[in-house]
Structure 1
Amino acid sequence: MSQTAGLRKRKKDASPSESSSAQHQDARRTDTHGSAKLMYTLAFIGIGLLSYFNFSIIYDSAKLVLDEWIGSSDHWDATPSSDDFVQFQVDEDKRQAVVNAFRHAWSAYERDAMGDDEYHPISMKGTNLTAAGGIGYTVIDSLDTMLIMGLTDEYSRARRWVDTKLSFDRDANFNTFETTIRVLGGLLSAFHLSSYLPHSSPSWRSLAPTFPHPDRLYLDKAIELANLMLPVFDTPSGLPTSQINLAQQRGAPNTEFPDLISTAEAGTLQLEFRQLSEITGDDIYWKRAEKVMSVIKTARLPHGLASIFMSQDAGQFVTSAIRLGSRGDSFYEYLLKQYLQTNRTELVYRDMYDDSMQAIHNHLVQKSYKTGLLYTSELIPEQNHEGEVSWRLTPKQDHLVCFLGGSLMLGATTTGALVQPVSIPPKPDELTLTGWRDWKTGVELIKTCMRTHDTATGLAPEMVHFRIPSDGMDGQEFAPEDWYIKGARPGEEAAFDARYILRPETVESLFIAYRLTGDPRYRDSAWSIFQAIDKHCKVDTGGYASIMNVDELNSRQEDKMETFFLSETLKYLYLIFSDDSILPLDKYVFNTEAHPLPIFNPTIPTGFS
């Protein structure tokens, strides 16, 4: 690999030891960036004047300032140029290619490891998460993908395994967060979608449920699992423990951080437990998960952002990194989705979401200083010898953060909308200034995430760093203009950051953006990613593997196929090549593992405000 390539081309958590090196990178705001932030802030001063002066003049002026700070998005800016109705057509060939990829992955797993939690395609074997056995992570995570794709035979065999082989009687600790989003979420989604199998129609527009009722098997298993998990909330603060021993029905701490719970782990249980309460009429599940949100709201930090760790006993944020990647990401995601899940009736979640998005724009959204790519930085706490804490801005962005672009666009058309329904794409007078801010930031973040696919393989690395004036690269012959993989060196072993582990976050945002705009360029980008996955990650004997270096054409593969590849990556790719009648965004909300759950009008009210 050339020296140029080594520098330029570059549910789920990275451990602190894996990301600790990023905490020492020198990063400071530039004067230019501060001036741009001032202009950005001035735009919102105009909001307070709208009731006193001509609305349209000030609205347009403020919007121009937003455009100058965030950017016009060049060809990525999906603003309407006409009143043409957007029609979503099925791309049969590309969608079938995704189905074929799923079959290639699933058939290998079913052949070699049916029922095991995880699959290793190179060694052609499965493993479980604990020595006491597994609980079918891969099977349950894949059920609704089979239902959506109409894979009747594969689904029938998977259902039979759930009915005859699945057991939660495991005397070992499982991660509370992962078990909730993958297993409980997967069971609830399968319960709902099971009414619609089998089907062969390419469109669900006129598709009536095949069965009169959803499959009770999945609901019974979901209730069983949730009841076993309820003890995780038996803590002094009500925040859940990081682990759960299912056989003993006892919560357990994370052995690495025994007194802490990550904010994402605590704040990413609510959709699933709320859905179960709504189905069963038993409010115990919702009350326990809702208490967590009340604790988090009470613990709000002055700047509105969330540190990645909370004290499990005290229910307070502890001094730790602030980021939108690992241990923080899905907390922000679920603020919006709780509001959407309850059909926009529970305003406390909208308020918490709006508050957090404002804080993200105030403190984390940055521009690369040479090419102007929008990205989100991290805040790293540093303590001096006198015990005083300061915060260092670090220009590092995880691949996990790429969920945010689509999430912001979805929030813009809901919490930031002046009318309902919003046009596809939204028209200039349909969103508030805050809505337009979030829309444009979302568009730009997706653009940036696609730029991180500018590698030898066309796949994005696990982590990227963005250029800043003080990084010491100016003047170097092969210095990248905008972003780079930290630690990448030609001829040396690939840096940890250079991996691609079949993550779905970029294609998730592309799916949402396509549904909200109809812009075919989002489809084109998704197709490019799929082709890259199929070329570089496919294992000839079956399955797909992670690769160790996205900037090496013949990169060594890692013997691991993450369950979210089947649950999320391929599902979102399938949906982006389908029409908008399958799982419409005004009828369903996707949990953070891409399990679709129906939107409903809540019968159990929120207990805090």
Structure 2
Amino acid sequence: MPSKKTFQRGWKSYKEYAWMKDELTPLSAKGKNTFGGWAATLVDSLDTLWIMDLKQEFWEAVQAVAMIDWAETEETACNLFETTIRHLGGLLAAYQLSNEHILLEKAVQLGDMLYTGFDTPIRLPAFWPSASLGSLSMEFTRLSQLTHDPKYHDAVSKVSSLLHQTENATVLPGMWPTFFNLKEGILTEDNTFTLGALADSLYEYLLKMHPLLGGSDSRYADMYLAAAEAIKNKLSYRPMTPNNDDIFFTGTYHVESPSWLDPEGQHLACFTGGMFALGGRFFNNQEHIDIGIKLTKGCIWAYKAFPTGIMPEIFSLVTCNTLAGCVWDEGRWQQAVADDQEGHLSLPKGFRNARVPSYILRPEAIESAFVLYRITGLEEFQNAAWDMFQAIETATSTPFGTLRSTMSPFRVSHHNGTRWKAFGLLRH
């Protein structure tokens, strides 16, 4: 299995050059701490080791995890969001697969430390980005379910209550702005709404909390479905492409006078295709599955558009006026590129710019392709995921067998990326 071999090469390099560090610097082959120094790559890869039947490596990693002291760090502050999704999530996933009790013990130790983040005057962690505040619920809730201690779920339930109370009070009802004023518990001041960085996983977590709780808390379904409608009606657009492809992307919506949609897309937002498809399956909504298909096909199209077979991190497209599509207009595209300070006619047709051309091992597009294949059974998504994997492997391999960011979607360069993201191995 090629993906397993790639993972094994990466794991071997991590073990040899960066064991117990957060990340491996893939060109200099050195360890680097970027997430508190608690072996982020190791902890976050535990479930992958188990799923790939690398049991010897798994048990070696478990022994190493048992030695982690959460009180030891060179950082002056703990990133509650990153530590929850990488470390706590990694421990809980590995425990549920292996039933190895030490993993749950370490999760409880970490959970108790993270729980102190809620010790504020309003019992909410001091976060500003909406993704950070909204992306704690699954891990904390699952920890309560496994330990039968309700305190963790109770803590994040306060966050959910605040979200539920304010979902229709924002200037875009159904969604929350990118930034919150948590000092005063105000979530409705900002006017910018996105599914990209700083907001993305909030909506994904709302959806996944519904099955995690067996549908027992209707707030999550209510909030997710309201958000999905806002995303469909305000943030989604169809790009103008030479073949009038039936694909969607999402942009950033600004509520002003007048309100407007910035069609700048982000690789990170490619998770929305899988999210809509899962939501459509959970709530028996074929329209949402169809939207998920079009969003995922959009990211697949963007991957195929560039010579490396990889889409850029941040880019902008020329939009159609409606989701029904539009006829290609060469002159309109050229004018849009000319009007864009970062535009260039060497870009694939349809793209206005590739403002951030790098690829930093984002897994969202290939993840959505996998989800759509499992939900629809259509081989085109399986084939697309395989094409993505091959392109990523070609662009990001180093002599150490590791993966790292590459800086251009136009050509493969083995000298630009300097960091091996902790989630790089998990892609496989």
**TM-score clears 0.5:** yes
Change (3 A) 1:554 1:443: same
* 2:50 counterpart (131, 138, 147): 147
The letter for the 2-side match of 1:188 is L
1:48-72 Cα deviation digits (max 9, x unpaired): xxxxxxxxxxxxxxxxxxxxxxxxx
Q: Could you say which residue in structure 2 is the equivalent of 1:375?
A: 249
State the SS of the aligned residue for 1:485.
strand
Structure 1 residues not aligned, in runs of 5+: 1-95, 195-213, 243-260, 383-388, 418-434, 488-496, 571-609
Q: Could you tell me which residue of structure 2 aligns to residue 526 of structure 1? A: 385
Q: Aligned match of 2:71 in 162, 168, 178?
A: 168
| Alignment counterpart, residue 473 of structure 1, candidates 335, 339, 358 | 335
Q: Do structure 1's residue 192 and structure 2's residue 96 form an aligned pair?
A: yes
Hey, what does 1:565 align to over in structure 2?
424
Structure with higher helix content: 2
Report how far residue 321 of structure 1 moved.
2.2
2:12 is aligned with 1:107: yes
Against the structure 1 CA distance between its residues 298 and 237, is the aligned structure 2 distance closer, same or farther, given a 3 Å change threshold? Answer: farther
Residue 129 of structure 1 is matched in structure 2 by 34
The 1-side partners of 2:80 and 2:362 are apart by 21
Of 255, 279, 287, the residue aligned with 2:146 is 279
Structure 2 SS opposite 1:405 = helix
**1:157 CA displacement:** 1.6
Residues 239, 292 of structure 1: 8 Å contact kept: yes
Q: CA deviation at 1:374?
A: 1.5
Counterpart in the other structure of 1:36: none
- 2:312 aligns with 461
In the alignment, which of 265, 275, 280 is matched to residue 412 of structure 1?
280
Alignment correspondent of 1:508? 367
1:335 aligns with 2:335: no
Q: For the structure 1 residues 472 and 234, does the alpha-carbon distance in structure 2 shift closer, same or farther, using more than 3 Å as the test? A: farther
Does residue 305 in structure 1 map to residue 175 in structure 2?
A: yes
Letter of the structure 2 residue corresponding to residue 216 of structure 1: H
Shift, 1:554, TM fit: 3.5
2:196 is matched with which residue?
A: 325
C-alpha distance 524-361 of structure 1, shift in aligned 2 (>3 A): same
Residue 474 of structure 1 and its aligned partner are, at CA, apart by: 5.8
Q: Matches of 2:309 and 2:69 in 1, distance apart?
A: 38
Deviates more, 1:161-170 or 1:219-228: 161-170
Q: In the TM superposition, what is the alpha-carbon distance from 1:555 to its structure 2 partner?
A: 5.8
Do residues 228 (structure 1) and 113 (structure 2) align?
yes
Who is 2:341 aligned against?
Answer: none
| Distance in structure 1 (CA, Å) of the matches to 2:194 and 2:5 | 36
1:207-286 matches, cutoff 5 A: 214-242=99-127, 261-286=128-153
Asked whether the 8 Å contact 2:180–2:186 carries over to 1, the reply is yes
Residues 315-361 of structure 1 deviation map (CA, whole Å, 9 limit, x = unaligned)? 22231521000011100101110001112332221111111101111
The answer to whether the 8 Å contact 1:367/1:375 transfers is yes
Matched letter for residue 2 of structure 2: A
Distance in 1 (alpha carbons) for counterparts of 2:378 and 2:333 = 37
- C-alpha change, 1:215 and 1:375, in structure 2 (3 Å) is same
Unaligned runs of 5+ in 2: 321-331, 339-344
Q: Which has the larger radius of gyration?
A: 1
2:415 and 2:175 map into 1 onto residues whose CA distance is 38
Question: Partners in 2 of 1:298 and 1:160 — Cα distance?
Answer: 44
Work out the CA distance in 2 between the residues paired with 1:553 and 1:183: 32
1:158 aligns with 2:20: no
Q: Which residue of 2 aligns with 1:447?
A: 297
Contact 1:299 1:315 in 2 (8 A): no
The one-letter code of the counterpart of 2:60 is R
Deviations 1:448-503 (Å, cap 9, x if unpaired)?
1011112111111101211148876269776754224335xxxxxxxxx1000111
Note the alpha carbon deviations across 1:186-241, whole angstroms, 9 max, x for none: 111111111xxxxxxxxxxxxxxxxxxx1110111111111111121123333312
Counterpart of 1:363 (choices 203, 215, 234) is 234
Change (3 A) 1:166 1:150: farther
1:11 aligned residue: none
In the other structure, the counterpart of 2:329 is: none
Amino acid across the alignment from 1:169: E
Once residues 147 and 346 of structure 2 are traced to their aligned partners in structure 1, the CA distance between those partners, rounded to angstroms, is 61
Shift of 1:517: 1.6
1:393 and 2:244 correspond: no
Secondary structure of the structure 1 residue equivalent to 2:423: helix
Does the CA-based 8 Å contact 2:240-2:318 persist in structure 1? yes
Q: Contact 2:6–2:401 at 8 Å: present in 1 too? A: no
How far apart, CA to CA, are the structure 1 residues paired with 2:319 and 2:363?
A: 28
Give the direction of change, closer, same or farther, for the CA distance of 1:165–1:185 in structure 2 (3 Å limit). Answer: closer
What is the letter of the counterpart of residue 562 of structure 1?
K
Aligned to 1:352, which of 223, 230, 233? 223
Q: Is the 8 A contact 1:375 1:448 kept in 2?
A: yes
Q: Find the aligned partners of 1:126 and 1:381 in 2 and give their Cα distance.
A: 44
Summarize the Cα distance change of 1:226–1:309 in structure 2 as closer, same or farther, 3 Å threshold.
Answer: same
Structure 2 residue aligned with 1:553: 412
Scaled by the length of structure 2, the TM-score of the pair is 0.89
In structure 1, distance between residues paired with 2:347 and 2:389:
29
State, as a whole percentage, how many aligned pairs show the same letter.
Answer: 32
2:23/2:31 contact within 8 Å kept: yes
Q: Residues 523 and 475 (structure 1 numbering): CA distance in 2 closer, same or farther, change over 3 Å?
A: closer
Q: How many angstroms apart in 2 are the aligned matches of 1:396 and 1:560?
A: 25
Distance 1:148 1:543, change over 3 A: same
Amino acid at match of 2:19: M
Contact 1:118 1:561 in 2 (8 A): yes
Distance 2:294 2:279 in 1: 15
Q: Which amino acid aligns with 1:473?
A: Q
Bigger RCO of structures 1 and 2 (CA < 8 A, at least 6 apart): 1
Cα pair 1:176 1:241 within 8 Å, conserved: no
Deviation (angstroms), 1:365: 1.1
Contact 1:321/1:378 (CA < 8 Å) preserved in 2?
A: yes
Distance in 2 (alpha carbons) for counterparts of 1:510 and 1:529: 10
Deviations 1:130-159 (A, max 9, x none): 7xx611111100111000001022112211
- The one-letter amino acid paired with 1:523 is Q
**TM alignment of 1:5-20, pairs within 5 A:** none
User: Would you say how many aligned residue pairs link Structure 1 and Structure 2?
Assistant: 402
| Cα offsets for 1:140-191 (capped at 9, x unmatched) | 0011100000102211221111123454333621211110000001111111
- Residue equivalent to 1:138: 41
Please provide the CA RMSD for this pair. Answer: 2.1
